[in-house]
Structure 1
Amino acid sequence: MAATSNAPPTSIIKRLFVGRAFTSQHLEHTLLPKVLALPVFASDALSSVAYATGEILIALTLVTSHPQSYVMPIAIAIALLMAIVVSSYRQTVRAYPGGGGAYIVSKDNLGTLPGLVAAAALLFDYMMTVVVSVVAGVFAIGSAFEWANEHRVLLSILFVLLVTFANLRGARESGTVFAVPTYGFVISILILVVIGLARCLSGCPAVGVHSDLLPGAASTAAAVGLFAILKAFSQGATALTGVEAISNGVPAFKRPQARNAAATLAIMGTIAVTMFLGISWLATHMPGVVASEQRSVVAQIRASSSTGATGWSSPTG
């Protein structure tokens, strides 16, 4: 107690934010089992599927009034790309058990300059991941609770601070913090997909709430050109956000580290592809699901799949 009371204020603040220091021989207990590694390293990739379908719809809505017919082919192409990327990283974690992200792999196999280009791209990607993921999460909250739309900026800042604080505490601590929301999200999306598919067995229900189309949405069913399809593909490829994180974090896994990391990659890829294709299929088959600034695609699917109130007023037009 005396040592604690005599500690300088900076030491107390540091312990509050980053936790107690460990000696090297005690670091083994901080290594992550797969059940905690998944929410730590795969939360970005898993959560991205919630808005990836919406991004495809946004790109297509600007060029045609019937974008639904193009969504599933693009979604399938993205799912195949994700499977290829996950398979590639499974090989990478075995070849680089000390951690093998794009920078290390590019530098070792292509040279310093390609490695630096990959590193610069990753730095930008990680920054944008925080921005896009947090904003998308707040938009999802606003889709369910209308009051949140008035506080989007404040909520976004608070969530960034929360994620920062959780990560400063260490991998195991952040895994414990992120486990509940990550697994809760996965379970809720899978339940939504299952219920939606079950309801579609006798004809997919229409969305029970009205959402205005995006400003600038096309009013005619024009043919969609190659560049529009490629743009939709690139926007939908946000579903791949964060796939690399596991390969960078191999040393944080429990031993055997490479095998556990590869298994976690496979689990992440399977869950992400299942959720993404499920959401995309429902979005194209449930009448009334549109690209909107008011409600996310997932919220609209939920309104179609549920029989109760959605927290929004009934459509008036």
Structure 2
Amino acid sequence: MAQISHFEYGWITPALSYALSVLGSVLGLVCAGRIRTASSTGQRIWWGSLSAWALGGTAIWAMHFMAMLGFAVSGTRIRYDVPITIASTVIAVVAVGIGLAIVGTGRLTAPRLLVGGLFTGAGVAAMHYTGMAAMRLNGTFGYDTLRVVLSVVIAVVAATVALWLAMTVRRPLAIAGSALLMGVAVNGMHFTGMSALSVHLHPRTGVVSGAGVSTLLTPIVLAVIFVVVGLVYALLAAPTDEDRAAAAYLDSRYAAAEQTPAPPEPIDPVGLRGRSTLGQPGTPFPSRRNPPPR
């Protein structure tokens, strides 16, 4: 059995992985908060998709890969299968998106929350072990069943709590505290699953195929930066509650102005019996000698 190190570069990889999970959780919670306040189905889909990318893509998957940078096995090099790695990303985002769709439509109830958490947690666990299956090294993997089950349970519980927070938390301080808690849960699930792994090296040596960490690191970092910048821009560009209130106030003022009746026409200076001829050519100005016509 080969010797495994989960912290090859010391504290830097777990610290970065935790920071990514907290950052993604903050953005995901803020985007999820817009789902229930959205005024149309299209807006709910938009904010749900952004939240799924933030939570699934950044808080979970990017955190997973960053933590994997510190994973090393003595006696062999580690490579990654690119298609399987991409598939793990899709699994994470889709699982979180479906979970948000389950709890974000209709009234939030305990059965709906449990179903969404179960589905999302299973998807997060599937993402983790799919990402593990993408590793290529000169050996075979083994897993401790009890720790694998424990990691799945942690994933389901963490996903259920995350969905509940996404639908209920609104204030900035509460969002920050929830994101810190979610970061602990996501990292706890990851390292619990990693502790279940064992590697048996092959007696023969050979070339390990696949992409190296340095090859994948640059596009992943750029993708995370673009996603974060895009999410921040979407949040800043979206109208706030104050903007919507101001727009509603202006609409009400415009509607009231349109419904206001026109001012009455001036009264005929000669009375209401007939049409006035005042001011017409040839008509004398009324006086004692020239009384107005009757």
Query: Which protein, 1 or 2, shows the higher relative CO under an 8 Å CA cutoff with sep ≥ 6?
Result: 1
Regarding TM over 0.5, the answer is no
Q: TM-score, normalised by structure 2?
A: 0.28
Larger helix proportion of the pair: 1
Structure exhibiting the larger radius of gyration computed from Cα positions: 2
